[in-house]
Structure 1
Amino acid sequence: MSCLDLAALRGGLIVSVQAPEGSPMRDSEVIAAMAEASLNNGAVGVRLESPEHIGAVRRRCPEALIIGLWKRTFPDSEVYITPRWQEIQAVWGAGADVVAIDATSRPRPDGESLEALVERADRELKLPLMADVDSVANGLRAAQLGCRWVGTTLFGYTAETAESTPPGLELLPPLRAQLPQEVPLICEGGIASAVMATQVLEQGADCVVVGTAITGVDLQVAAYCRQMAG
């Protein structure tokens, strides 16, 4: 399946297969097994963090649609999802079909601009970028710059949206109405059930990314234990 084949993606589930630092689940073979299980049961793709995990899933699932990213933190910026050119190259080189990057308006590490990164990614690597955004304006801007996917991943996670709770349902109708039809609109973040995922599609998303509710063993178990302890 072409990673830009919107007809094949529409209405589908992409599973974010990640694990926090320090978790025993953060093992490349564990991640690869969870990714394979997701794909075997109907997921149209997986979203993976780090070149190591992307490579492990690519080896185990050579036909998988992989959205890849690399979370890196730097003292001079709040941007952490594939923030620099070096991370874009590493994620692409590991085998991702689409590279997800922070496409908010926040300053990037080393003074790099979003415009320059998108232009360079197209010119040198011809790779599709997924813009992780927090607002309608940033989603439209990212598409204008050349990002070929747009996702609501960072709604609720930037200073401008800190008072909001994901998922960003209110972003979906205006984004779908104004984005080019060939740009997939992805809703990601805070989707906790299949019922909610269906509602997201009804609001205009082309497909849905679900992570914690499916693969977040650490967070899910901790939440159960907290609730049961009263």
Structure 2
Amino acid sequence: MNRDTFFKNIHNNLIVSCQALEDEPLHGSDIMAKMSQAAKEGGAKAIRSNTASDVAAIKKQTGLPVIGLLKRDYPDNEVFITPTLKEVNELLAVNPDVIALDATIRKRPHGETLKDLVSYIHGQSDTLVMADIATLRDAEYAIECEVDMISTTLSGYTSDSPKFEGPDFDLVERLSKTSTVPVIAEGRIQTPEQARRMLELGAWSIVVGSSITRPQLITKTFTDKIRML
């Protein structure tokens, strides 16, 4: 899917994040492919997914555009969403439509830079780059590095970003007024009303994950309320 078609496809629409880590009950590419198919049948226009094997399975199952990432921890480093060239190459091997990278101003492992990774991806294929950011400063840095879109994925999860129980509406609104690339709202969007508000504030599209695809967390919201009685 080319750039224009991708952005037209997701505009004012829902992207569903289908991810399950190794310690989660639904871990496994076959399960994530079925979860993505369910999201497609519910109206999702794209899927965000972790690991090359999940990306490949989801593309085969759904035919939807897939935003791929690879979470990996490196010693003494806070960056874990597609942190290095190694993870980029693992993802490029399965041809995702988009690769998501941590695009915060934090130092990356091995002394690599965001700009180098973005340039490498653009030089290897037509794959687009989603910049996962936490602050306005991160967004400015990412745009300087020529990313194709920014997502507020990491707001509230870095030491220099504000902590909210709910979505960071203010960041999305401010970015939507100033960004030269599409702004994707992501992070703690828990209800359809919150999702719609993000679009009204100017987000190009929205990503919802845990509130749709992590049943253990959805169940916990009920049990927590019940225990309060």
Aligned-pair CA distance for 1:146:
1.1
Equivalent positions of 1:95-114 (< 5 A) are 95-114=95-114
Supply the distance in 1 between the matched residues of 2:154 and 2:127 (Cα, whole angstroms).
Answer: 22
Percent sequence identity over aligned pairs: 33
- Residues 23 and 32 (structure 1), Cα distance of their counterparts in 2 relative to 1, 3 Å cut: same
- Residues 2 and 166 (structure 1), Cα distance of their counterparts in 2 relative to 1, 3 Å cut: farther
1:215 maps to what in 2?
Answer: 213
- Residues 163 and 195 (structure 1), Cα distance of their counterparts in 2 relative to 1, 3 Å cut: closer
Aligned-pair CA distance for 1:204:
1.0
Displaced runs of 4+ in structure 1, greater than 4 A? Answer: none
- Residues 95 and 123 (structure 1), Cα distance of their counterparts in 2 relative to 1, 3 Å cut: closer
| 8 Å contact from structure 2 (residues 118, 146) kept in 1 | yes
Supply the distance in 2 between the matched residues of 1:53 and 1:205 (Cα, whole angstroms).
Answer: 27
My pick for the range that moved more, 159-168 or 139-148, is: 159-168
Aligned-pair CA distance for 1:28:
1.1
Supply the distance in 2 between the matched residues of 1:130 and 1:189 (Cα, whole angstroms).
Answer: 14
| 8 Å contact from structure 1 (residues 151, 188) kept in 2 | yes
Supply the distance in 2 between the matched residues of 1:112 and 1:7 (Cα, whole angstroms).
Answer: 32
Partner-residue secondary structure (3-state), 1:167: coil
1:70 maps to what in 2?
Answer: 70
Supply the distance in 2 between the matched residues of 1:201 and 1:34 (Cα, whole angstroms).
Answer: 24
How many pairs align?
A: 227
2:190 maps to what in 1?
Answer: 192
1:148 maps to what in 2?
Answer: 148
Aligned-pair CA distance for 1:126:
4.3
Supply the distance in 1 between the matched residues of 2:150 and 2:4 (Cα, whole angstroms).
Answer: 12
- Residues 76 and 85 (structure 1), Cα distance of their counterparts in 2 relative to 1, 3 Å cut: same
Supply the distance in 1 between the matched residues of 2:172 and 2:43 (Cα, whole angstroms).
Answer: 24
Supply the distance in 1 between the matched residues of 2:177 and 2:220 (Cα, whole angstroms).
Answer: 39
Supply the distance in 2 between the matched residues of 1:16 and 1:164 (Cα, whole angstroms).
Answer: 20
2:115 maps to what in 1?
Answer: 115
Supply the distance in 2 between the matched residues of 1:126 and 1:142 (Cα, whole angstroms).
Answer: 18
Partner-residue secondary structure (3-state), 1:161: coil
Gaps of 5+ in 1: none
Supply the distance in 1 between the matched residues of 2:179 and 2:97 (Cα, whole angstroms).
Answer: 21
Aligned-pair CA distance for 1:160:
0.5
1:45 maps to what in 2?
Answer: 46
TM-score (norm: length of structure 1): 0.92
1:227 maps to what in 2?
Answer: 225
| 8 Å contact from structure 1 (residues 212, 219) kept in 2 | yes
Supply the distance in 2 between the matched residues of 1:65 and 1:124 (Cα, whole angstroms).
Answer: 18
